[in-house]
A and B are shown apart, each in its own frame.
Chain A
């Protein structure tokens, strides 16, 4: 168990709709990273939040937005959904692994847009 909690595990929705994915990092972890994993694009970095502030942006579409709340949980909002947004969405925390900083991932939210 990574300690990073993502909900829901599965989500099926129609094109044009809006969804919210939720991530709770490990207790005490200030960082949340969001990644999108689709079949043709691999793992794509979306956005990084640290203690409520946006630290870095990757290949995040304008239709997508995220925020991190005072209790450190984060939400990724996806709007005007398209078929191509179907993917596995991960959040991760930065943790010490074998003495150095690495990622520990949540179990992911599998989004299917129909």
Chain B
């Protein structure tokens, strides 16, 4: 089974509108972390936001917020007031802490976001 599932290969959003990028995850661990990364066309991977499995409040970081629904195992990224520079690939990732492998990360297949002027 996939550890991280991103079901939206591509998304479009009007500039200044909000957009939600979906992410579901699969783990039997109680302690884990969820991350979102942005990959612009230049290729680098940029960390955006983190949510811990024990965090009761949704994480926020500027225009980014993470809609964390633990029971549904979803960690959707919400980008408010979209800007042209938000056009990029977005990856959801999960860190599981295992004794044998340390901080093992799993990535989704990504969502390509295009912001339309």
- What is the interface of chain A, defined by CB distance below 8 A to chain B? 2, 31, 33, 42-43, 45, 48, 50, 55-56, 88, 90, 92, 94, 97-105, 107-108, 110
Contact = CB atoms under 8 A, between A and B. Distances in A.
16 contacts: A42-B108, A45-B104, A45-B105, A45-B106, A48-B101, A56-B104, A94-B102, A97-B35, A97-B47, A97-B50, A99-B50, A100-B33, A100-B50, A107-B44, A108-B43, A108-B45
Question: How many B residues touch the partner, as a band?
Answer: 20 to 34
Contacts of A97: 35, 47, 50
A102 B91 CA distance: 14
B44 A55 contact: no
A94 B95 CA distance: 11
A50 B102 contact: yes
Interface of B: 33, 35, 37, 43-45, 47, 49-50, 52, 59, 61, 91, 93, 95, 100-110
Given A31-B102, A33-B105, 4 more contacts: A48-B101, A98-B61, A103-B105, A108-B45
Q: Give the interface SS of chain B, mostly helix, strand, loop or mixed.
A: strand
Of listed B37, B59, B108, residue having the most chain A CB within 10 A? B37
Given A42-B109, A88-B43, A98 B50 contact: yes
Contacts, number: 63
Nearest to A96: B50
Nearest to B109: A42
A108 B39 CA distance: 11
A100 B100 contact: no
Most chain A CB inside 10 Å of its own CB: which residue of B47, B95, B110: B47
Given A33-B105, A42-B107, A42-B110, A98 B43 contact: no
